[in-house]
Structure 1
């Protein structure tokens, strides 16, 4: 396989010709969004060619952290056809050679690789996942209910009867000011033990992607915000990218009612599938706590995807980073 650099315009044409669903992170506008984040900048677009024909496409963003650089292609390469292990190995070898020639500053690349290969490594950072839940939105509300697990149907119908919150598309309000929504994200982060992005991150995401690719749905009780979600849209696929609720929202069935509202609304926008974005598995046991909630919305919706993996470009430098990570983990364990 060979790798060819594409201009933004060439990449857009190639995406359209590929004939598959394109992850929102692989749309050119995603590079515009990532450019608003400190330490990130567009690197470029490439086509992976087999016998002169496009086999896959990728949009790369450069990340600079702790004095080194690496490239990231979220949910990419985007393949025209499902790749074999040999296909992926040949593509990765060609990409490494291309990047070494084009930019000697890159230490590794992080991208979606279905098969565990000799040249791939577990991600140095982040929690990649290889399984998600995708809800089929075709056929209307009753058809969607029919494809839920019994527990999902019961919970959502109960929420529709008893949840005191009103649901709305608040995209315009959130774009005007995200402060109110961010406060609930911070509360959720403190409760669930993660670090939220700054308010500007979510605000820029909405502003740059625009309403065609990014919506905010909200639940309010007597005008007070009690839950929200940020949903991305690319083609016919909607993805529940972020969500947050106040403490006690579970007792009021807010999350179930809000997911139902989101599904109905994105279906009206023309989406035919709704990705709940990642659950736990043997590959990612750290997120098993997400499974009970997400899997109930689709009894046959569990889908395996290619997880993020690292591919070293500078092998020695990458090995040193692995060593630093091990030392930090050991020091943390000793402090406990």
Structure 2
């Protein structure tokens, strides 16, 4: 019987990662694929760190993982976004064995790295809540293999009713906008800024989102809902004005939300619902088999409660996913960072 608590890590290249996952019948998340390296490289303070295969005592590859080095404010960490990619179903012991080997591997190769960020199915003592940002353990996934009618029937009753109503609205123009200029994207960024202000979340500079379109090529898809009438929420509006948009990714048969927003007019006309349906049907026609809406609120992710109701219009229930955690490599440094951030938040809250 194979001892899955003894693993070794061997460096591999991007092609080997894809081949191993393909042989196991496992889809590769776009963030673990070679195409993502160009996006990371285009964003300041991110560098592709390397790829590894986790191999058990029988020389069987049980997982593959791609990591990116992030330079934070005074510290560095590596992140396996949507990784490891498990080729077999891991036990808690197997996950722990991989983390132990990874911690040692990173410490020997990059002694400046303070922690590793990755996903895990089983909770464990060596896992820490994220030092910064948020994670989630539930999402909404839409199976795109059935017929269009059956996909609609699988929606929540309220969502299906609202979608049918908005499909009768002839004031929408829905398109995928390829080759948009920076000036054209500025209109969409203004909508995103409005969305962030309304919903209370932070956003990056516009260049981060535009770089995704530039570097990911056909794997980054920009969908926009525009109004063709002249009536706007605050008075007359020019036909062709954007009211909602979504930047999706599409890789290895899987589509997913990444960024997007709606202005007040889009909110009042259910533009996001109409646009999401257009995205689902467009990607389905191109062979997409599953669409992931990338997280909803839960006890672990209360900050995402605002999008839970909207996303559950497309499904009767949520899908559990593995949340992300920090794994300290330099334990004392990580502990000091934790204390410093806690003190900073306490000071901010007292003002």
Aligned residue number for residue 235 of structure 2:
none
Q: Distance in 1 between matches of 2:347 and 2:313?
A: 40
CA contact (8 A) 2:255 2:292 kept: yes
Aligned residue number for residue 265 of structure 2:
248
Counterpart among 118, 123, 137 of residue 111 in structure 1:
118
Q: Distance in 2 between matches of 1:261 and 1:105?
A: 46
CA contact (8 A) 1:178 1:202 kept: no
**What is the CA deviation profile of residues 127-163 of structure 1, one whole-angstrom value per residue up to 9, with x for unaligned ones?**
1001100011122210111101111110110110136
Following superposition, the deviation at residue 19 of structure 1 comes to 2.0
Counterpart among 31, 40, 50 of residue 37 in structure 2:
31
Q: Does 1:310 align with 2:326?
A: yes
Q: Secondary structure at the match of 1:61?
A: strand
Q: In terms of mean alpha carbon deviation, does 225-234 or 161-170 score higher? A: 161-170
CA contact (8 A) 2:21 2:27 kept: no
Equivalent pairs counted in the alignment come to 333
Q: Structure 2 unaligned runs (5+)?
A: 1-6, 228-238
Following superposition, the deviation at residue 21 of structure 1 comes to 1.2
Counterpart among 315, 339, 342 of residue 326 in structure 1:
342
**What is the CA deviation profile of residues 71-128 of structure 1, one whole-angstrom value per residue up to 9, with x for unaligned ones?**
0010100001221111111110011111111111110000111111111100000110
Following superposition, the deviation at residue 312 of structure 1 comes to 0.2
Following superposition, the deviation at residue 48 of structure 1 comes to 1.0
CA contact (8 A) 2:130 2:326 kept: yes
Counterpart among 55, 61, 67 of residue 62 in structure 2:
55
CA contact (8 A) 1:128 1:308 kept: yes
Aligned runs of 1:164-243 on 2, under 5 Å?
Answer: 164-173=171-180, 177-211=184-218, 213-221=219-227, 222-243=239-260
Counterpart among 3, 7, 13 of residue 9 in structure 2:
3
CA contact (8 A) 1:137 1:273 kept: yes
CA contact (8 A) 2:14 2:33 kept: no
Q: In terms of mean alpha carbon deviation, does 254-263 or 183-192 score higher? A: 183-192
Counterpart among 149, 159, 162 of residue 166 in structure 2:
159
**What is the CA deviation profile of residues 253-296 of structure 1, one whole-angstrom value per residue up to 9, with x for unaligned ones?**
21111011011101011001111110011111221121111011
Q: Does 1:95 align with 2:102?
A: yes
Normalised TM-score (structure 1): 0.95
Aligned residue number for residue 81 of structure 2:
74
Query: RMSD of the alignment, in Å?
Result: 1.5
Following superposition, the deviation at residue 40 of structure 1 comes to 0.8
Following superposition, the deviation at residue 64 of structure 1 comes to 0.7
Q: Secondary structure at the match of 2:179?
A: helix
CA contact (8 A) 1:26 1:73 kept: yes
Q: Secondary structure at the match of 1:178?
A: helix
Q: In terms of mean alpha carbon deviation, does 16-25 or 5-14 score higher? A: 5-14
Aligned residue number for residue 301 of structure 2:
284
Q: Distance in 2 between matches of 1:10 and 1:144?
A: 35
